Chain A
Amino acid sequence: MTTNTYLIKEGYNNLNKHGSKTISTMLIICATMLILGIFIIILQNVNKNVETLRLEQGLQAFIEDKATDEDVAYMEDEIKLIPGVSEIQYMSKAEAYEDAKEQFKDQDYFLEGLEDLEIFPASFIVKFTNIEEAETIKEAVEKIDGIYNVKYNADTIEAVISISKVANYFLLGVGIVLLVVSVFIISNTIKLAVYSNKREIFIMRYIGATNSFIVKPFIVEGAIMGIMSALISFIIISIVYVYIYASLNSSYALGVFKFIPYSTIWYQILIAYIVLGLFIGIFGSAISLKKYLKA
């Protein structure tokens, strides 16, 4: 048995020795990870749906009223030159009116008589190949003379985007708070473990143990707690997500909203959890061991 395997074994034994404390610590870390996981999943789903809708619907660029046919042709050429634009479609004022009538087909009475007034502006519908380029394309289109407004072509998307922005900040805030709580809890558990091993530590010092020798089993203990919490959280969240996916995705209750299949995000969650678990475990134990690093 090399020294390192011995130290890992000692760390593992510590876990068993403080069984109930270990379990309660892991439960709290799991809770943290689950909450974080749910937020990540919601965020991923919202982002993905926004992307899909943006890609499907494209941008709508409104043309100033004073624009002549030549101007329109020029604008169309300009837009075509923007990298990433896959399709461009001109919608005249008349077509815009028809489109509005189509959208309000049951209540189109209030549109009657407006046809001649040409209140609906002409526009281009611009589609693109890659969602990542959407913002750049939007900015480029906005700069073209004769275009006075560019927006994503579905009103609902704009709302979803602002909600997802709020969700992003909320996630970040909750994540930081929970992370701090988890680190604090694990450091507290390790502090107790150190305390209950203080006799061993005292003897070790007299025999001539190096600091790293004394500290390693506790770091291992923290890391094991972190990784085990990560795996448990991963299993729970996988089961829940797959269940929700199966029962909700086929229903019409969610409208256009579509859940991302779990197969495309499971590894991101697993990696995030393990990294997070290791960080919480190692950092948490390290801060409680700092004062024991004196000779």
Chain B
Amino acid sequence: MIEFVNIVKKYDHGIVALDNVNLKINKGEFAFLVGPSGSGKSTFLRLLIKEEEPTSGKILVEGKDITRMKKKDIPYLRRKIGFVFQDFRLLYDRTVEENIVFALRVIEASEREIKTQLKTVLQMVGLSGKEKFYPNQLSGGEQQRVALARALATKPPILIADEPTGNLDPKTAEEIFKTLLEINARGTTILVVTHAKDIVDTLNKRVIALDHGKIIKDEARGVY
């Protein structure tokens, strides 16, 4: 599903963010990407959605080398990868429903698709009945669920969550991970960047650890 082959990313000022990274994440997997700040996690994600280009190596997504992809095809790559941010990145002047429909409009979904997908994702993240609420009327956990629903609305085969629970209390964080596991059970490949040690340790999923741009650990059933 996702494959990094000999990926090196050097920045202009000489910093090596990723140093010969080789990694394969299979379809339907649930993996954690962990490591201290500056270890290269963010660079990893930026390369995956082609926000940046690697200095050398190739990146395969669904078997296609995205480093050779044309600029005009980038939006279609991004439609395959749902993205959830630590700070939710919601539109605060729009309701829950409008935030989700926004994503469906972007991928130019039909009216019918919009209707059915809206219902499906709201159910998936447990927000049915809160369609007309504005983000500010919701708790942090609920806001992250809106962001999750928005990322899932476009039916991406891959979901990336960058510190999804960084702004949430432990109990809420646990619930969000529960939802992520459910989504994974439906077949979505999930990669979570996190510092939530306790959760990583209890979930017993694949853990990939980065440090100074190198993979220092990759265990199928690992701990933080």
| Residues in A lying within 8 Å of B, measured CB to CB | 1, 3, 6, 199-200, 202-211, 213, 295
Contact = CB atoms under 8 A, between A and B. Distances in A.
Interface string B82-119: 01000001010000000000110111100100000000
B130 interface: no
Given A1-B111, A295-B50, A207 B106 contact: yes
B76 A208 contact: yes
A48 to B, nearest CB: 52
Contact of A207 (B72, B78, B111): B78
Given A208-B107, A295-B71, A203 B76 contact: no
14 contacts: A200-B102, A202-B89, A203-B91, A206-B89, A207-B79, A207-B107, A207-B154, A208-B79, A208-B80, A208-B106, A213-B106, A213-B108, A295-B50, A295-B74
Interface string B128-156: 00000000000000000000001000100
B168 interface: no
Contacts of A209: 75, 106-107
Contacts of B77: 208
A202 B80 CA distance: 17
B75 A208 contact: yes
B61 interface: no
Contact of A3 (B49, B75, B89, B108): B108
Interface residues of B, number: 23
Given A1-B111, A204-B106, A208-B154, A199 B89 contact: yes
B91 A199 contact: yes
Contacts of B102: 200, 203
Interface of B: 49-50, 71-72, 74-80, 83, 89, 91, 102-103, 105-108, 111, 150, 154
Contacts of A207: 78-79, 83, 103, 106-107, 150, 154
A210 B71 CA distance: 10
Given A199-B89, A203-B89, A210-B75, 7 more contacts: A3-B108, A6-B105, A200-B91, A206-B89, A207-B78, A209-B75, A295-B74
Q: Which of the listed residues A204, A205, A207 has the most CB atoms from chain B within 10 Å of its own CB?
A: A207
A202 B90 CA distance: 11
Contact of B78 (A199, A202, A205): A205
The 3 closest A-B pairs by CB, nearest first: A208-B79, A208-B78, A209-B106
A211 B70 CA distance: 13
A207 B108 CA distance: 11
A16 B108 CA distance: 24
Contacts of B89: 199, 202-203, 206
Name the prevailing secondary structure of the A interface residues. Answer: helix
A205 B51 CA distance: 10
A277 to B, nearest CB: 28
Nearest to B90: A203
Contacts of A213: 106, 108
Contacts of B75: 208-211, 295
A210 B73 CA distance: 9
Nearest to A202: B89
B71 to A, nearest CB: 5
B186 to A, nearest CB: 20
A193 to B, nearest CB: 15
Contacts of B83: 206-207
Contacts of A1: 111
Contacts of A295: 50, 71, 74-75
Nearest to B105: A6
